[in-house]
Each structure stands twice: as C-alpha cells, then as structure tokens.
C-alpha cells in the first residue's frame, strides 16, 4: 500500500528588517532623487520629472527632504508607537522637514543640516537641570514591555539620589556628544557643499555628504549612548552592587528584595 506524499510546508516569507527599510527611505531614495545622474544611467529626477533648472532642482531637493519625514510619520502611525523615544524622533523628523523650506547654502546650510543635533543637545542639557533628565526617558521606554514588578524595580532604582546623578551625568554626556556630532556634520557640509542652492551641483553635493556622514554620524551617536549607559551602570552598581543593572530589571528586583527596599 503506497503512502501519500507529505504535503510540503509552505516556505515562510522572510520579512525585510526594519533597518533596511529605514536605510531605503532615509538614505538611498533621497540620494537617488538628488543625484543628477542616478547610477550612471543619465536619469535625473530634477530634469526628467520636475523639468530641470532651478525650479526642478528645488523640487527635487524638497522631495528628497520630505520623503524621510513622511516615512517616519507613517511608521509612527502604522505601528502606533507613542513611546517618548519615538515621539522625540518624530518631532526631530518634522523639524527637518520644516527646515527643508529654508532655502540657504554655504554656512547657513551647514548649520541647518545639523539643527536637529543642536536642538536635541540643548534640550538634553536643559533637562539635566530638572528632576527628569531626558536620558531617563530612554530607560523608561526600554522597560515598557517588562512585568509590573520589574518595571516598578526600575522606577524605584531611578528615584535613588545616586542613580539620579548617574542619569544626569548620562544625559549631559549624551547631549555633549550630540552637539559635537552636529559640529562635525556642519564642518563637513561647509567644506563640501559649496555650490549655490537650486543648482545641480548643490543637490549632488548634498547627496554626497548624506552618504559620507551616515556611518560616522551613527558612530558618534552610538558613542554618546554608550558613554551615558556606562555612567548610569556605574551609578547603579555603586548603589546596588556588582551585576546590578537597569537593563536587567529581574536581577535588580532581586537586589531590592535582598536589601528589604520597597519595589513599588
């Protein structure tokens, strides 16, 4: 008696990682729109789509600037991500979109392109003088998915004066590094984006700098985050002992119980 062949299991569709979509909509597509010769094909969005000339180059520039804004807003709406971190990112994207309509070149373009970093750095510095330093917002967001007990342990630890000082120092470090990143980005833009706004050369230079600064910009931001996390972890370990971390709320809750400290 012959056995029926097993029904093949449908292949699971591989989802494209969100990081890839982020790169496509915030880097690759804008660069292609700005390029006067996309991948050597002779195609130019400013020329073929918008009619060329100053008006065509400005429209291409605006489209390239607004597509990342639309992508970020769409992502927030679809995923219904209303965490403080996501909202800060969305506000930064809206600021960048609004500044796209500020038609400047030279020094002021270099400042404009780093405005998001400058504003973020200043806001974080100001928040360090308040009872809620903004680096705490990131920690709050990272614990949203934790159990009520673990989240309560995190909140209890952050109320400790020593840990609060770590949050303040971490916020200051994050802000200073972000400001340094803004200065570096401005310097690169000032030295490389030298053409007049509304020209083919200006759009091409903007695309070049966007590609050039993506990895260094990410590394500078990462350095700020790592420095802030190191300072915070040092403060938590000094208060609750080696191995304690706000990023491991289960162990932190155990330490609080061992010390007889209230978690809630």
Residue 185 and residue 83 in one domain? no
Q: What is the C-alpha to C-alpha distance for residues 166 and 27, in angstroms, rounded to an integer? A: 35
At residue 1, does pLDDT exceed 50? no
pLDDT-derived band at 257 (thresholds 50, 70, 90) equals: confident
Residue 177 and residue 208 in one domain? yes
221 φ/ψ angles, rounded to the nearest 5 degrees: -60, -40
Residue 111 and residue 202 in one domain? yes
At residue 89, does pLDDT exceed 80? no
Entry pTM: 0.84
At residue 88, does pLDDT exceed 50? yes
pLDDT-derived band at 4 (thresholds 50, 70, 90) equals: low
pLDDT in the model for residue 13: 55
Domain tally for the chain? Answer: 2
Q: Is residue 3 part of a domain?
A: no
Contacts of 253 (CB under 8 A, 6+ apart): 149, 150, 152, 153, 263
Q: Is 134 left (phi over 0), alpha (psi -120 to 50) or beta?
A: alpha
Q: Is residue 206 part of a domain?
A: yes
106-137 pLDDT, tens per residue? 999 999 999 999 999 999 999 999 988 988 88
At residue 7, does pLDDT exceed 80? no
At residue 54, does pLDDT exceed 90? yes
Examine the fold and report which residue of 101, 136, 164 is the final residue of a domain before the chain moves on: 101
Q: Is residue 96 part of a domain?
A: yes
Residue 176 and residue 189 in one domain? yes
133-183 pLDDT, tens per residue? 988 888 877 777 777 887 888 888 888 899 999 999 999 999 999 999 999
Residue 137 and residue 264 in one domain? yes
The two counts, helices (H) then strands (E), for the chain are: 11, 0
Residue 97 and residue 107 in one domain? no
């Amino acid at each position: 008696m012959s056995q029926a062949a097993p029904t093949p299991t449908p292949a699971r569709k591989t989802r494209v990682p969100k990081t890839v979509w982020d790169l496509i909509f915030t880097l690759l597509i804008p660069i292609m729109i700005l390029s006067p010769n996309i991948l050597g094909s002779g195609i130019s969005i400013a020329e073929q789509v918008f009619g060329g000339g100053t008006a065509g180059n400005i429209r291409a520039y605006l489209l390239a600037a607004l597509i990342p804004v639309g992508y970020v807003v769409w992502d927030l709406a679809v995923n219904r991500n209303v965490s403080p971190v996501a909202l800060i990112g969305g506000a930064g994207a809206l600021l960048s979109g609004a500044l796209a309509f500020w038609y400047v070149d030279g020094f002021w373009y270099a400042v404009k392109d780093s405005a998001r970093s400058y504003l973020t750095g200043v806001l974080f510095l100001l928040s360090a003088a308040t009872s809620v330093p903004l680096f705490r917002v990131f920690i709050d967001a990272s614990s949203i998915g934790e159990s009520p007990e673990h989240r309560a342990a995190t909140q209890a630890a952050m109320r400790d004066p020593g840990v609060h000082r770590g949050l303040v120092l971490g916020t200051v470090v994050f802000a200073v590094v972000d400001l340094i990143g803004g200065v570096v980005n401005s310097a690169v833009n000032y030295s490389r984006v030298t053409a007049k706004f509304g020209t083919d050369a200006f759009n091409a230079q903007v695309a070049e700098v966007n590609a050039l600064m993506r990895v260094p910009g990410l590394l500078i931001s990462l350095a700020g985050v790592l420095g802030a996390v190191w300072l915070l972890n040092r403060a938590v370990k000094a208060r609750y002992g080696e191995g304690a971390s706000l990023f491991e709320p289960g162990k932190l809750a155990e330490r609080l119980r061992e010390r007889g400290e209230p978690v809630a």
